[in-house]
Amino acid sequence: MIRSIPLHHSAPLQLPLFASSCTGAAHSVQFRLKPQGKRAPGSSSSQEVFSEAKQGGVKICTVSAFGRRDQDRVLEQEAPENLDTGPMLKIVPGQAFPLGVSEVDNGINFAIFSQHATAVTICLSFNERIDDRTLEFKLDPDDNRTGDIWHICIQDLPRKNVLYGYRIDGPQGWHHGHRFDDSIVLLDPYAKFVEGRRYFGGENKSSGFLGTYDFDSLPFDWGDDYKLPNILEKDLVIYEMNVRAFTADESSGLASSIRGSYLGVIEKIPHLLELGVNAVELLPVFEFDELEFQRHPNPRNHMINTWGYSTINFFAPMSRYASAGGGPLNASREFKEMVKALHGAGIEVILDVVYNHTNEADDVYPYTTSFRGIDNKVYYMLDLRNNGQFLNFSGCGNTLNCNHPVVMELILDSLRHWVVEYHVDGFRFDLASVLCRGPDGAPLSAPPLIRAISKDDILSRCKIIAEPWDCGGLYLVGRFPNWDRWAEWNGIYRDDIRKFIKGDCGMKGSFATRVSGSSDLYKVNNRKPFHGINFVIAHDGFTLRDLVSYNVKHNNANGEGGNDGCNDNFSWNCGFEGETEDANIRALRSRQMKNFHLALMTSQGTPMMLMGDEYGHTRYGNNNSYGHDTALNHFLWGQLEARKRDHFRFFSEVIKFRRKHPHLFSRENFLGENDITWHESNWDNPESKFLAYTLHDGNGEDVYLAFNAHDYFVSVSLPSPPTKRKWFRVVDTNLESPQDFVLDGIRGIGSTYNLAPYSSILLKAKLENELL
C-alpha cells in the first residue's frame, strides 16, 4: 500500500522538490501527499503522490496522480533516462538541538521532543497557506532520534513559506497518561511563527495551525538611536490593555485594515501619553484560537475568545493581530514596530503570559493541537491514580506541568525569545501559583521554574509579576516565592480599597496599610513597596464604572447561566442597579470613581489601571467578558471624546501628579515614622470611615490626603503646614471639573475643611508664589 516514506539511510536521500511524473517499468516506493481539510473547489478527485526511484544510483522523488481506488496499489514504474528532476531535497539525520526549526549547513533542521513516542512523521507543505496536501517523511528512530529528541535535516528546502507539523504515535493507554493520535498534524511547540486563519474571527472555524519559518528576510531594523526605556520599577504606572479591543471599534477612526492590530496600537500612542501612563500590560499576544468555543455545539458557541487566555504556542505572536490579514511573518514584524514605537515614546511593554494551561482543554472536549498529542504525560499534570485524568488547577481543563525539566526549559526559552527577539520589558504570569506546583500538583516551597526565572541572566532586566493565586486555592499574595525579584498583583489591596471606599465598617486600618505600601505583605528580606502591584480594577471583574453601578454580576450573555465570574466583587451600585438617569446617583458614582483613582495613584507601590476606565467604560455588569468581541470589551473612542474634559481630565492629571512627585508616592523603601503622619486617634472604632494623613518629603513639600467614606459631611481639622508654607487644594472629588483637580492649587485653605460624603481631598504645601 502507499505509505509515508520511512527514512532508513546511511547516505543523504535526495528528493526533487517538484518533479515530473515518470513512466516505465522499474520498482518504486511511494509516499502520499496527505490531504489537509477540504479539497479546493475545482480540484481533481485524484491525489498526487511522490515516487521514489533510482536514477544513476541516486534516490529521487517524482509526482504522479492516482485516484482513491488506486491508493492501496503499489505502482511498478521505471524512471526515464532523461527525467528532469528539478531541485533536489537532500535528507540527512539532522541534529537534536536547538529544538524547533533552525538553519544549518545549507539545510533546514527540525527537532522535536517526545519521550514516549514510538513513531514521528514530519509533514511539509510548500505553499504560503495550508492547502489540501502535506508531504510526509517518517523518521527512523535509529537515525533520527537522539535520546528523547527526534530530528531531521532537509537540505535545499525553501528558506521561508514552508508550513510544517508532525504526526506522532505512541502508547494508547489513557490510564497511563498518553493521548497519542497520529491522525492529527501537530504544531511544533518551538515554532516561531504559526499559520492559521488570517482574519480574527474569520469564517474558517476549523482552520488548523501549523508552524512556519523565515530564514530569508533581513533582520528587523530597530534603528541606530533606539534604546530601551529602562524605567525603574518604583516609577511604573501600568495600563492593562487588549491589543485588539483597543482599536477594533469603528470609533477609533482607523482604517479597517489596521483596526484591532499591533499597528493600531501605534496610532493611539498619543492617547497613552496624554493619559500619562508609562507601561502597557498587554493581555495575551501569544498565538491562540479565538474560535475555540465554536468547535462543537455548546452554550458558549456564540462566543469569540477576545482575551486570549488559551495559548496554542508560546513563541509566536498572535498572527491575526497583523494588519490586513497579513499572516504570521507580518505579525512578527508589526509587533516589533509596535514595541519600537512604544519604547520611542518612553512606554514599556509588559506581556501577560499564560504558562499555567493551554488551549487543549480536557478529555470531554479535547482540542488536540500540539502538546497533548506530542507527549501528554510530560507536558500536563495528571492524576495517574485516577486513570490518568488531567489535574485542573487552571479552571480550563488542564494544567501545564511547569516544573518538569523539559517544560521548564520550554518556558524559559519562550521568555528569553520574547526578550531577545521582541525586546519586551517584562511579564505578568497568569495564575502564577500553578508555576509553584510539582508534577502531582503539590505546592513547592522553592519551585525550580520560579527560581530559574529569578536568576536567569537574559531575564535579569525584566519586570516579573505574579498573579499569586490559581483555581486550586493556592493563594500566595505576600507569600509568593520571589528571591526578592518577583512582584505580585496585590489582590488584598484591591479588596481592602474597594471595601473602605464603598463604606464598609471596620476597614480603616486595612485601608491605611494598603495605601502605605502593604508592609505587612512585602516588608520581608529585600522586598520593596513596588513589589506590590496595586490595582482596584483588572480585565477580569467589573470595570471601574460597573464597580459603582452594580451590586451583583450580570453574566447571562456568557452562556453559562450566570454561573461564571466572581461573586465576591465588593461593589456598590450607589442606590440603583445598572444604568440610571438619576442625577444624584450619577454624581455619587462619579465621585466614587475619582476616589478610587486618587487612592490608587497616591498609594505606595506600583499602580495598575484598566483600559477604558479613563472614560468610564461599562460592560453592563458582566464581570467575565472574555468571549465578546463587541463594544462590551472594545475601547469606545467616541465616549472618550465626550468625557475628555471631565472624567478623563481628572484621571490624567492625577496620574501626572503622581509621576511628578516620585519622592512622595514612588518611594524606594517602606515608609518610616518621619515619612508619614497619621491624623487619627480613632483606629479601634469599626464605625469610623474617615482617614487622613500627611506624607512628608523632607523638604517641606508635604501632601495631605483625606478620605471620607461616610454618608455625611466631616469637618476636618487640618494640621499646620510646614514652615513658611500654606495648604493649597489640588483635589476635591466632590467638585465638578475643572475644580476637582487644580494643578497650581487653590489658596485660602483655613484650619478646617468640610469634606463631603463619599469624597476625598489632596492638599499640597507650597510657598505663596510657588507653582506645583
Q: Catalytic positions, please?
A: 430, 467
Question: What torsion, rounded to 10 degrees, do the Cα atoms 556, 558, 564, 567 define?
Answer: -50
DSSP string, 376-429: HHHHB-EETTTTTEEP-SSSSS--B-TTSHHHHHHHHHHHHHHHHTT---EEEE
Within 13 Å and on the Cβ side, how many CA atoms surround 430?
A: 28
Please give the backbone phi and psi of residue 204, each rounded to the nearest 5 degrees, phi first. -80, 80
Distance CA 139, CA 27 (A): 22
Distance CA 481, CA 606 (A): 19
Distance CA 617, CA 561 (A): 24
What is the DSSP code (8-state) at residue 140? P
Place of cell 500654606: 726
Place of cell 520593596: 528
Here the cell at position 578 is 445598572
Here the cell at position 108 is 533546514
Task: Assign 338 to helix, strand or coil.
Answer: helix
What is the DSSP code (8-state) at residue 286? B
Contact 40, 23 (CB under 8 A): no
Here the cell at position 239 is 495600563
Choose among 179, 7, 211: nearest CA to 110: 211
Q: Which distant-in-sequence residues (6+ apart) come within 8 Å of 581 by Cβ?
A: none
- Mapped to the 3 state alphabet, what secondary structure does 500-530 carry? HHCCCCCCHHHHHHHHCCCHHHHCCCCCCHH
Here the cell at position 568 is 465576591
Which ranges constitute the DSSP H helices of 531-646? 544-547, 583-601, 637-642
Contact 717, 680 (CB under 8 A): no
- Mapped to the 3 state alphabet, what secondary structure does 151-210 carry? EEEEECCCCEEEEEEEEEECCCCHHHCCCCCCCCCECCCCCCEEECCCCCCCCCCCCCCE
Place of cell 495648604: 727
What is the longest distance spanned by two Cα atoms in the chain?
A: 108
What is the DSSP code (8-state) at residue 459? G
Length of the chain: 772
Element housing 349 (H / E): strand 348-353
- Taking each helix axis as running N to C, give the angle between helix 448-455 and helix 405-420, from 0 to 180 degrees, rounded to the nearest 10: 30
Contact 151, 7 (CB under 8 A): no
Burial 427-457 (b: 16+ CB within 10 A, else e): bbbbbbbbbbbebebeeeeebebbebbbebe
Task: Assign 88 to helix, strand or coil.
Answer: strand
Q: Which distant-in-sequence residues (6+ apart) come within 8 Å of 264 by Cβ?
A: 243, 246, 247, 248, 252, 254, 258, 323
Here the cell at position 238 is 501600568
Distance CA 65, CA 48 (A): 4
Distance CA 576, CA 583 (A): 12
Checking DSSP bridges between strand 426-429 and strand 58-66, what pairing results, if any?
Answer: unpaired
Task: Assign 564 to helix, strand or coil.
Answer: coil
Distance CA 771, CA 764 (A): 11
